[in-house]
Amino acid sequence: MATRRAFVTAVGVAVPVLASALACSTVTTPPSARTEAPLEAVEPEPAAPPASVLDGIFTEAQAERGRAAYDAHCAECHGEGLGGGEMAPGLTGVAFRFRWRGLKVADIYTSVQSTMPPEEPGTLGDQPYIDIVAFMLSANGYPAGDWELAANSSQLEGIAVERMPP
């Protein structure tokens, strides 16, 4: 490796410095002159599917559709305020929390769809049943969000019914 003697003037005094020819041939570009390669467009990761009823798993519009379906098919027995009646349990408050806490939204959907209305279970169609579930969740204080709850058993199996925080 070739070396050469260079003189560096520092504070008015010439100082001999040995420098490598390799080091002398390397050019450093100041940061202001560097050109960065353009960054590739990074696609945002899709939002994770909701895992809890606390994640806003239905929309306000869906809960309103559910209210209309509830009024038409459920209120006669379960009451206008979902409080229950002589022949039907309440669907809000302690009755709801006691029945569904620790289970999955799929359990609510399956129960409502397979047993209601009592004289003709399963006759409303998937959309009205899932809308009624959204209305029940809304009536129990769970937050609406950007997700439209779908009557998809694998999706519903992944959504836990959790207690509302104090």
Per-residue pLDDT of the chain (166 residues; tens, 9 = 90+): 555 555 554 555 555 544 444 444 445 555 555 555 555 655 655 566 679 999 999 999 999 999 999 999 999 999 999 999 988 999 999 999 999 999 999 999 999 999 999 999 999 999 999 999 999 999 999 999 998 999 998 999 999 999 888 7
Q: Give the model's pLDDT for residue 4.
A: 52
| 46: amino acid identity, one letter | P
pLDDT for 47: 62
| CA count, 13 A, side-chain hemisphere, 32 | 0
Q: What is the model's pLDDT at position 166?
A: 76
Q: How many beta carbons lie within 10 A of that of residue 12, not counting itself?
A: 5
**For position 19, what pLDDT does the model report?**
47
Partners of 30 in beta bridges: none
- Mark out the alpha helices in the chain (DSSP H runs): 21-25, 60-73, 75-78, 93-100, 105-115, 126-139, 153-157
pLDDT of residue 24: 47
| 118: region left, alpha or beta (phi > 0 left; psi from -120 to 50 alpha) | alpha
**pLDDT for 21:** 47
Report how far residue 109's alpha carbon sits from residue 88's, in angstroms, rounded to the nearest whole number: 17
* Residue 35 pLDDT: 56
**How many CB atoms within 10 Å of residue 73?**
18
Give CA separation, 11 vs 18, 124, 136, in Å.
19, 92, 82
